[in-house]
Chains A and B, each alone.
Chain A
Amino acid sequence: MNANEYQGSFLGRISIRRNQVVVMDAIHEQELEDIELFQKHVSDRFSELSSPSDDDAVLSISWLCKLLDVFLCCEAEFEAILLMDRDPYQLSKPPFDRLIPELLDRAVKALDICNAVTNGVESVRHCQKLAEIAISALDQKPIGDGEVKRAKRALSTLMAAINLDDKDGTNAKSTERSWSFGRRSGNKDRVAGQFRSLSWQVAKNWSAAKQIQSTIYNLVAPRGAEASGLPSPIYTMNVIMIFVMWALVAAIPCQERTGLPTHFPVPKQLNWAHSLIGLQEKIADEWKKKEKKGMAGLLDEMQRMEKSAQSLIDFTDSFQFPGDAEKLQEAAGHVAELTEICRIMEQGLTPLQMHIREVFHRIVRSRTEFLDVLEKASLPVI
């Protein structure tokens, strides 16, 4: 008898349970195979992510897009394993009555992170616009004081935006205060970047770091008999979701990242988790290095932009018309680098934003599907 004949039929399943223990075993066997395959895919996908080519360094825009793709693939597979042809009652029993609500809670937190990061992409775009101004000024030949001043102004704003503490953006009291600017109040370096960050707020007092912390809280790897059954892919999916959200927060500026955890415990002996753990350690190291400084995040392009911008600021500081040929050439190199970064951003930021949104919608949909199943399980048996 083919187990598939009973697919979707609840009554069919009951009869399976009562009479067809053999078939149940077959289903169980199939399930174990599916889980193993899922974890192999996870392992493969993350190992690909951890050995990126030159074009997409870890935490570059294109790498993040790949990461989000990996999330979408894993999620789809996970959902299939858990929900396809599943008897709803199984998911309403321990330990699933705890594991699934926990997963869904994390999903909700992930949604808020997606939103925070979507806003964060906007501030990256703002930096891109500022860099473009500097480029257009310094692309002139010959470069004069006017161009240099123009570039410097844009670059200072850019650096201020990059070094902006996450908190600054969220505490502005009033227009009057944030606009008491300009030479008339003696503050010559009024920064256009500061007010930009105002609207990135997700909610008052919301903190990306706390959000990540709370998703990590009480995440425990399944042990004993659970380690081989359905609880194990649920754990895997939890880890993937946390990792993806954590990487996004580390890479892209968003509301309140102080105290972002640099470690979440994933047992090393789990085969599928090797690459993921490696990536996590790598990103965590980067984060620790940069955490003390205010920063735009670990996004590869932003870090490169910061370096070039800083070099160009140094150049503009020491510039005297008509300028030293060697320095001019060096500056031209940085301008070229900046131009390249802006090109990548121009091409990549919108797709990245779309990707994040897609992940958002996917999480919403998947959550709904889980809730539907749980709801079915809670209906009285007739």
Chain B
Amino acid sequence: MDGCQSTIPTYEGDLHVVAAAHHIVKALGATKNLSDDLRKILIDLDAHLSMMTLNTDTKGGRGFVDVEERLKQAERKILSWEPDPRMIWDSGPREASEYLEAVDEIQTLLDGLRGLSVHENRKQKELLHRAMSVLQTAMSRLEEELIRILVQHGQQFDPKHMSSRSIQRDVVYDESFVSVEDEPAEETSSRNCSSDEIGEYIVDLVHAGVIPDIKSIAKVMFTSNYGPEFCEAFIGVRREALDQYFAILETEKLCIEDVLKLEWTSMSSKMNKWTWSMKIIVRVYLASEKRLCDQVLGDFGSVSSFCFLEISKATTLCLLNFGEAVAMGPRQPEKLLRLLDMYETLADLLRDIDTLFSEEAGSFVRLQFHELLKRLGDSSTAAFEAFRVAISSNGSLYPFPGGGVHPLNKYVMNYIGMFPEYCNTLNLLLKDQHADVADQDFEPEKGLDLSLSTSCPMACHLRSITSSLESNLHRKSQLYKNEALQHIFLMNNIHYLVQKVKGSELRLFFGDEWIRKHNGKFQQHAKNYERATWSSVISFLKDDNPGSSSFSKSTFKERCKGFSIAFEEVYKTQTSWCIPDPQLREDLRISTSLQVVLAYRTFLGRNSAHIEDKCVKHTVEHVEKLLLDLFKGPPRLSRNSRRW
């Protein structure tokens, strides 16, 4: 009896201490602001103490009565939700936390039961079996609750709120090239205001308020070894959300075959869309998804990155495939800028991609991105080459009416006007490409002002392009039968070329020497024009006999008539000629006036004796006035100006 008495207090004492400690641990565990480490320690301790209770229980011979009672209670809680049509997490935070507590309790009991050394105990086995069964019920339920929470609280952000440089750029050249011409500089320079406009823009893809709920479900599922179920459910919902986001971006999935069949206009807008979607998907959506995975699964090691990969892989590959399809399409010159956009976007995103998919498992995705970048680069270079070929091979059957600025010239100059924006990329891509045409306009040894910009690969290629353009324009000028018109055409076009270079950033790449040379060229054509047109007209007014001061009356009459006919002939043809640039037109009229009017005035002055109304058809003032009518352009100027 004595011995017995002495053991009971010890046993009861143990029990009290353990119970008290357990109580404290539970209370501590309920505290909100605990570090994860500390919380984990408390959970361990909790399990440990439960086990001790059980151990002392069995030792004390009280059997599993207490354990069974606790299990029963938790079981009741869990099973009571089974027939309930409501979702637990919809029913309020108390219900949810009570449910989780019940699951916790089962886990604690399971840990305790498993930790027992007595293995052949029938009761223990039975309880273990029962606990596992309840746990399974609870886990199934939690999986369902999880899916419900994820679906109900999933949030999609509106991509239109993301300001993006590509959107602004579209304004610039989705329109026809005519309107591009005089776009204010601010519009185009918007592109330069930094690549990370979208920045690390992270949004809540799932409402921030439910993250703790999801985390608590994750915690309890992972502790019970139901991690795989959690992941499958999580991945499933999130993957679908990403798929749906495609619809929000209005990005339709296209197979390669269809992409290759696209018309240029829709191709162009799809390329544009891709550039835009890509940025939003990678910078915003995937970055946010990554954060969500880390928030929810960060505590469970590599699980987070595994889930992220599973969620994003298919969609990412789909985006890449569009890029592949574009890169393998026909090498149209007009594709160049869009391709460069895609290339730059991708190059820009590469670092994000490498971070998002940094793990070994993500190397597949990473690799595909790098592969595509290379391909887009090759494709851009090919398009550049196609552009050059298109310029030199663009042929015309008929002379361009009026001798004005040829559409090819406009197109090319406006197009290359965009190049400086892509300077770094083009330099990179064109580094190993030889400029086809000898770069005769560039003499580096002369240039003290030689800055890097005039000798970079892009500059060489730019000059080579304009040099092809000039040769082509020369060929086109040969289509005019009238020599004077040939010169007007070349003057107009070279003047336009120079103006475009001078008035834009292109200036930096062409350099002053080039500009000087080309100024000289068009001025020469102006002179040649004057000679070709007016020397024969003026020759009527010139004295063949330098000795005499005036003509004989009959000669004068004849000369007058000759002049009038020649002048009228010029007037008739050249009023329909065209000098679009007002300044240039003015200059040429003045210099023409100077020559013709002066010669005419002198001629009339010297022969004032012979002047009769009949033979002098035009007064000096009249001639002067008529000269103002020249170069007004063809009567019906803008028929469908041809583009190529």
Which of the segments A104-112, A232-240, A242-250, A262-270 contacts the partner chain?
A104-112
A196 touches B239 (CB 8 A): yes
Known contacts A144-B132, A145-B133; is A112 also within 8 Å of B257 by CB? Answer: yes
Whether B542 sits at the interface, judged by CB under 8 Å, is no
Kindly report which residue of chain A lies nearest to residue B243, judged by CB atoms: A199
Which of the segments B134-142, B194-202, B583-591, B604-612 contacts the partner chain?
B134-142
Known contacts A144-B132, A196-B239; is A122 also within 8 Å of B140 by CB? Answer: no
Contact mask A164-185 → B, CB, 8 Å, 1/0?
Answer: 0000000000010011011110
**What chain A residues lie within 8 Å of B135 (beta carbons)?**
146
Known contacts A122-B313, A144-B129, A150-B139; is A354 also within 8 Å of B364 by CB? Answer: yes
Contact mask B105-133 → A, CB, 8 Å, 1/0?
Answer: 00000000000000000000100110111
A321 touches B258 (CB 8 A): no
Q: Among the interface residues A111, A122, A126, which one has the most CB atoms of the partner chain B within 10 A?
A: A111
B136 touches A353 (CB 8 A): no
**What chain B residues lie within 8 Å of A183 (beta carbons)?**
144
Whether A115 sits at the interface, judged by CB under 8 Å, is yes
Known contacts A111-B256, A192-B232; is A119 also within 8 Å of B133 by CB? Answer: no
Known contacts A136-B228, A147-B132; is A108 also within 8 Å of B256 by CB? Answer: yes
Known contacts A109-B257, A115-B256, A179-B151; is A153 also within 8 Å of B140 by CB? Answer: yes
Q: Give the A interface residue count (CB, 8 A).
A: 52
B324 touches A364 (CB 8 A): yes
Whether A308 sits at the interface, judged by CB under 8 Å, is no
B314 touches A200 (CB 8 A): yes
Whether B315 sits at the interface, judged by CB under 8 Å, is yes
Kindly report which residue of chain A lies nearest to residue B327, judged by CB atoms: A364
**What chain B residues lie within 8 Å of A367 (beta carbons)?**
328
Whether A315 sits at the interface, judged by CB under 8 Å, is no
Whether A132 sits at the interface, judged by CB under 8 Å, is yes
Whether A201 sits at the interface, judged by CB under 8 Å, is yes
- Contact among A147, A175, A182 with B240 in the assembled complex (CB-CB below 8 Å): A175
Known contacts A175-B240, A361-B371; is A118 also within 8 Å of B133 by CB? Answer: no
Interface residues of B, dominant DSSP: helix
Kindly report which residue of chain A lies nearest to residue B233, judged by CB atoms: A192
Whether B68 sits at the interface, judged by CB under 8 Å, is no
B253 touches A198 (CB 8 A): no
B136 touches A146 (CB 8 A): yes
Whether B390 sits at the interface, judged by CB under 8 Å, is no
**What chain A residues lie within 8 Å of B144 (beta carbons)?**
181-183, 190
A119 touches B314 (CB 8 A): yes
Q: Among the interface residues B131, B151, B236, B252, which one has the most CB atoms of the partner chain A within 10 A?
A: B236
**What chain A residues lie within 8 Å of B231 (beta carbons)?**
129
Question: Complex formed: what's the CA distance from A199 to B316 in Å?
Answer: 11
Known contacts A108-B260, A149-B136, A150-B136; is A136 also within 8 Å of B240 by CB? Answer: no
Known contacts A136-B225, A146-B132; is A199 also within 8 Å of B151 by CB? Answer: no
Kindly report which residue of chain B lies nearest to residue A367, judged by CB atoms: B328
**What chain A residues lie within 8 Å of B239 (beta carbons)?**
195-196, 198-199
CB distance from A380 to the nearest CB of B (A): 9
A364 touches B236 (CB 8 A): no
Question: Complex formed: what's the CA distance from A286 to B432 in Å?
Answer: 53
Additional A-B contacts beyond A132-B228, A144-B132, A149-B140 (12; CB < 8 A): A108-B256, A112-B256, A115-B318, A133-B228, A133-B232, A142-B129, A175-B240, A178-B240, A179-B151, A195-B237, A199-B315, A350-B364
Using a CB–CB distance below 8 Å, which chain B residues touch chain A?
Answer: 85-87, 125, 128-129, 131-137, 139-140, 144, 147-148, 151, 225-226, 228-229, 231-233, 236-237, 239-244, 252-258, 260, 313-315, 317-318, 321, 324, 328, 364, 368, 371, 375
**What are 22 A-to-B residue pairs whose CB atoms are below 8 Å?**
A112-B255, A126-B232, A130-B232, A132-B228, A144-B128, A146-B132, A146-B135, A147-B136, A149-B140, A175-B151, A175-B240, A175-B244, A178-B240, A181-B147, A192-B236, A198-B240, A199-B240, A199-B315, A203-B254, A204-B252, A204-B253, A364-B375
